[in-house]
Each structure stands twice: as C-alpha cells, then as structure tokens.
Amino acid sequence: MAEIATRTMRFGSLQIRYDDRVLEPRPWTTAQSAWAAELIEQAPAGDVLELCTGAGHIGLLAIAGSDRRLVAVDASPTAAEHAADNAVAAGLAGQVEVRLGQLDEVLDADERFAVAIADPPWVPRAETGRFPQDPLLAIDGGDDGLDVARLCLEVISHHLVPGGAAVLQLGTLEQASALGDRVAEGGVLRTGEVREHEGGVLVRLDRMA
C-alpha cells in the first residue's frame, strides 16, 4: 500500500493536519469560525456542537480562546481521527469530544447545545465530477446539494437550546433561500443574517424560545 501523505496548513491561529482522504480545509472558512466565536461569546451557557467536522479546523478555531466544550461529529473515520489529533495539537483536547457516526445517531435525545456549527457537503451530485481531488463523501450533497444540510437542520432544531444560534455553510444564495423555506416550515428555527463569501455562503440560524 502506498503511504498516505499528511499535510499541514495554517488555519487562523491553528496548524491543521489532514490528508487526501478528507476535504482540504478552505482558508475562507475561517469566517465561519469567527462568526461562531462571536455567537459563543453571546450564547447561553452550554456546549458547542459541530456537524460534519472534517479535519476539525472550523470548530477548533471557533472555541480557541474560550472555555466552551466542543462535540465534533463526522461519519468518516479518517476525518474523526484528524479532528481528534488536531484538537491535541491545538491544546484543546480537554475541551473536545469527537464522535464518529451519522449526524442523527450519535447524540443523546436529551443533549442540548448553546451554539451549533455545520459544514455539510453542498455540491449537487451531478456536479461532483468537477472536483476530482475532493473525497466524494465530503462534497456530495445529493440532487440539489441540500440532502445533508436538511439533516443538519433537523439535528440543530432538536438539540439547540432556546436562545441558541447556529452557523451553517452552503454553496450559493439560491441554496440558502431554498433552505430558508424549510426553516420557516419547521417553526423552531429562524433564519437570520446571510453572508456571501467568495467560496460559499454562511447562514445564521436562531432557535426561537
């Protein structure tokens, strides 16, 4: 078997290790970490939940400098391993629990979180061939790119405390609008500010009281 090369990149104040079996961290997503960090400062007491953590970079940078505990979830064993290793390297291992499994299966029904972060795959399935360097599991969002994002919404709706907030990453404003309709139908979350960046879109979600 060929040896798998591990690479390291700077992500905000952190050094993040990863390899080709996980999605390479996108530098622009430090914006998601920064927004989540702002929400953490204002949020009710409680832990932080990260869905689709990948190498762990977004969630780790979000809690760096705070005393919040992070529960990071991913379905990829390789991603979970990198996330745990990166927590150790960042000096945050005592604040981080990495859970391997499906998003809707690894949380206890009564667990609640003050802030949630989600970076689901959002590339429409027919377009994944444009990104041959990226692991399919990390980018395939189903026919409209929103399959996993919708699951993230369900998990966040159930596990976010009243007054809590989430930052969700998507690919386009059109996806944000479509998911906003789903949020309105649910009646639990409210769509807040939407921020467009060169590499994607960030959506704030607020849990209503």
**113 and 167 Cβ atoms separated by less than 8 Å:** no
| Pair of tokens at residue 80 | 């979970």
pLDDT number for residue 2: 53
Contact 48, 59 (CB under 8 A): yes
Distances in Å between the Cα of 97 and the Cα atoms of 28, 115, 140, 142 are 25, 15, 26, 28
Give the integer Cα–Cα distance in Å for 13 and 27.
Answer: 12
Percent of the chain's residues with pLDDT above 90: 95
- Give the per-residue pLDDT at 196: 97
| Mean pLDDT across 131-140 | 94
Confidence label for 75 from pLDDT (cuts 50, 70 and 90): very high
Mean pLDDT for the chain overall: 96
CA distance 165 to 149: 16
Q: Is the pLDDT of residue 99 over 60?
A: yes
Residue 72 has pLDDT above 60, yes or no: yes
* Residue 152's pLDDT band (cuts 50, 70, 90): very high
pLDDT confidence of 1, banded at 50, 70, 90? very low
Question: What is the model's pLDDT at position 88?
Answer: 98
CA 89 to CA 112: how far, in whole Å?
Answer: 27
Average pLDDT over residues 40-47: 96
- Residue 60, amino acid: L
Average pLDDT over residues 170-183: 96
Segment 47-54 shows an average pLDDT of 98
Q: In this predicted structure, what is the pLDDT of residue 128?
A: 96
166 close to 118: Cβ distance less than 8 angstroms = yes
Which pLDDT score is estimated for 4? 83
Q: What percent of the chain has pLDDT over 70?
A: 99
pLDDT, residue 209, reads 76
